[in-house]
Structure 1
Amino acid sequence: MYNFLLHAHSGLRYLVLLAAVVVVIKSLIGWFGGGAYTKFDKILAPAYVGLMHLQLLIGLILYFIYSPFVTYNMGDKVSRYWSVEHIALMIFAVAAAQIGRSISKKSNDAQVKFRFQTIFFGLSILLVLVGLATMPGRGIL
């Protein structure tokens, strides 16, 4: 079960990144181009947030039930990363995506919807990328 969930969690990140890029670019175009909030936008934004929630759910199952890396030992970089840094950054990323979706959903103005989606979805994906870039042994930082 651990290997299945780990592969699902690892593979789903590419769909999350793809959805994030599409929704942020689409929101930027809508915000600065003055476009209307279309049916495609009404599908794309919740799909991105839904993928983020699914990714978080799989990650939490791995974190609390199956992961051999979560040891709560803060003595080395790898343990600290998996036990604290990764989960904290990803929870903040999901929260940013959800906040952006919730605020944009309440507005009737398309420009406001696009602005909040751009800001909060952009922040969300930035947090995900920081989390991936700081991964010990595989990250770029």
Structure 2
Amino acid sequence: MRAKNQRLMLVVLAIVAVVGAVLLAMSALGEEAAFFYAPADAKAAPIDKPVRLGGMVAAGSVAHAADGVTITFTVTDGTASIPVRFAGIAPDLFREGSGVVAEGRFVAGGGFVADNLLAKHDERYMPPQAAGAMHKTESLKR
């Protein structure tokens, strides 16, 4: 085999290896990806699949259960609201009127069960996805 053919074969094998690695990585990440939804988009959300729900904690909606661990609250984006149940220790910055991203699953009946809560960083911070979703719903109201 000539040197030119050997180089061509090596390049083809390298390209096949890179494409195979990319496809393998995409298939592994595709199963672990959590999509983000605002409460107004919840109608299109899959039931019992891992997703993220983001928005603001509605004022007067936080209630602690008697077990001391379970918290129920409502997440709103100004247009729609979704009731959320979380069993665990909430972040220190979690409170009414603050931004929150809840990681979990939508359940039948329109509720959301959170496995993890992410609270806002400071009084001006809002997750980029939530800010974009809230900006979109604000422009629809006008």
Classify the TM-score, shorter chain.
under 0.3
Higher strand share: 2
Bigger CA radius of gyration: 2
Higher helix share: 1
